[in-house]
Amino acid sequence: MLRSNTSSETDSDSSSGSDSDSELGKYFYPQIEQLEMAKQPEPGMKFQTLEDAHRFYNTYALLKGFEAKRGTNYMRKKFHLICNRSGKSKATPDLHRKRKRKSIEKTNCQAKVIVKLVKGQWEFTTVRNEHNHPLCPSSSLTKFYLSHKHISTEERSFLKVLQRTRIPPNKVMKIFRRMRGSFGSIPFKKKDGTNLLCAEQHRKENSDVGKTLMYFKEKELQDPSFQCMKQTDEDNIVHSVFWTDERSMMDYEIFGDSLLFDATYSTDRHNMLFAPIIGINNHGRTLLLGCALLHDENAETYKWMFETLLHVMGGKMPVSIMTNQDEALAKAIAEVMPQVRHRLCKWDVLEKAQQNISAFMAESGNIKADLDRLVDNSLTEKEFEEGWGALIERYGASQNEYLQLLWQRRKNWVPVYFRQDFYPFVQSHGCGEGMNLLFKDYVLSIDRIEKFIERYDEIHKNIIKTDEEDRLQTGAVPSCFSLQPIEKHAANIYTRQIFLKVQRELLHSTAFNVQEIQRGAMYRLNKVFNYENPEFDRNNFEVQVESATNAFKCQCSKFTRDGILCCHIFRLFTQFGINQIPEQYIVPRWTEKFREEKEKQYKEKCSEKMDSTMRYTNFMTKMADLGKTICSDGAKYDAFMLEVDKIQENFATAQK
């Protein structure tokens, strides 16, 4: 029941609740475990993070019957958590003025705790539990108590329907508010709905895996091209499953050069990993290329999955792959695909860093913001490494073991070390978004197998539908914002979605002036006008030029990273009067004709393979029918085998 206090909660690091808490606004919703372990605060209690301390006190306040809020703080190292009735009541000169509905009568209550950062932990140094006012004065507050919660049978049934269709919890709350209008308050909270879903799931029989295998068996019967590979143990018990279909295999053949692998979801009953394999098509949109349910997070399991992926996809290796931070996963990739460029998701690495050294970051002021800026804006390895040394010295962090680990592994995750590698639109897409956005609003991070598969099938259908819509736009020239010939040229060669990205670069190019450093060889682009969402938060970029080969190389390396030119090079094109994108800077992958040509090649290859398979099938069928007749008669069998031997001899002679 925490009421937000904006005057003292401006820093995200000092926020009292998680994202899920703030999602519902002014109220705090404790977890069941926190309610069960709640007790009266005492001096000397220690917590790993400020958030843990704050949630502990908020839970105590909820059960005791008062509301807590954040009071003053000293240099973000000492915080006062106080009763919302602290402070003196203000006199009201106008007795006829209507009293505000949500106003709280102040009683100068002295109940509070002081939490202080001591040796990396947050400790209650002062505790006052006595209040000078009645606790829980309003009956409306009882709706927050577990013992008084109530969801009617009808509401419970409707809630189940919403959950089965994976309506996000915050949207469920909006639906119920709309249904009830102004006739009453919602009798339950978002957390109640989530808990109800968990209870419903645990009532299910432990049969998810069996149902999944039956479902895949039906898919194989309906679609001969559907591929389902199983990893079994010595007792023939299925441990892991990988599946894909003909459409995904074709997409992998065409767009399998750069992959994202997401292993952040798991199933509830069996703790299996749900791991989709994601690619990017010629419109810059995400593709589902396959999926796996993995028994565990061991290197051998990941190794089986990647070996299976390559086997199903005809042995084609990707050029680059991005994954979340996991040592076993990295080991498997190094063994199965040693030549593939492997990159860790920057967002995942920094998020784990925030979790592991949150107390140190809170104590060190702006280190997180400075670290993010350094990681995001470094254009050269030297710039990053010198900046890292300065940052560590500035915050006295040379002894921090986790930051030392990040430094040792910098070449696995810091973007500047991958500026020459093809990871299309990761900077703007966001690895976390590209991977998780497909599933996060429709499944829980821990959910039932069938829900993941349902969502996978839905996404796959939507991707195909979107791709068909994109194809319908082929041939229609999009509108241009300028009269520049180069923009018209880009509109004629790129797919619509890629053209929009190129068009954005052309627009941003107008924000720069050109400064000549060395005539015909080196130029500096100086930003003279700010624009929204720049890829790099800096004002100067250098571009090298080789006039003899008409080659341009920018510090930002956008062309090698994304396969399209940056705004800085486009600005030089304007300066030099270049009205068309040079051929060497048109990546076929992003053009209108690329998919059509690759699909034709793929289908021809499949047709050849199918002809061979069909001949083999027809031959074996004919031999089986013939064998039934011949094998029952010894004389016929001997005569037939003599003829087979003669045929083999003739083939051997012909091949010499």
For the stretch 12-23, pLDDT in tens is: 333 333 333 333
125-139, 220-234, 255-269, 606-620: segment of lowest average pLDDT: 606-620
What integer is the mean pLDDT of 297-303? 93
Closest to 459 in 3D by CA, of 288, 289, 291: 288
Specify the CATH number for 207-345; select among 1.10.3470, 3.30.460, 3.30.420, 3.30.1490: 3.30.420
Q: State the CB neighbour count (10 A cutoff) for residue 427.
A: 17
Token pair belonging to 60: 């105590």
Q: What distance in Å separates the CA atoms of residue 568 and residue 587, rounded to the nearest whole number? A: 18
CB of 337 within 8 A of CB of 317? Answer: yes
CB of 285 within 8 A of CB of 466? Answer: yes
User: pLDDT at position 282, please?
Assistant: 93
* 447 vs 53, residue with greater confidence: 53
Q: Among 68-77, 356-365, 430-439, name the most confident range.
A: 356-365
* 431 vs 311, residue with greater confidence: 311
Token pair belonging to 394: 């500035």
Q: What distance in Å separates the CA atoms of residue 421 and residue 343, rounded to the nearest whole number? A: 10
Mean pLDDT of the chain: 79
240-249, 282-291, 359-368, 430-439: segment of lowest average pLDDT: 430-439
pLDDT in tens, 564-613: 999 999 999 999 999 999 999 999 999 988 988 998 888 888 776 666 65
Pairing relation of β-strands 112-118 and 121-128? Answer: antiparallel
pLDDT in tens, 474-484: 767 788 989 99
pLDDT band at residue 438 using 50, 70 and 90 as cut-offs: low
**Exposure pattern of 261-277 as b/e (b: 16+ CB <10 Å)?**
bbbbbbbbbeebbbbbb
pLDDT band at residue 103 using 50, 70 and 90 as cut-offs: low
Pairing relation of β-strands 227-232 and 540-546? Answer: unpaired
Q: Is the pTM of this model over 0.85?
A: no
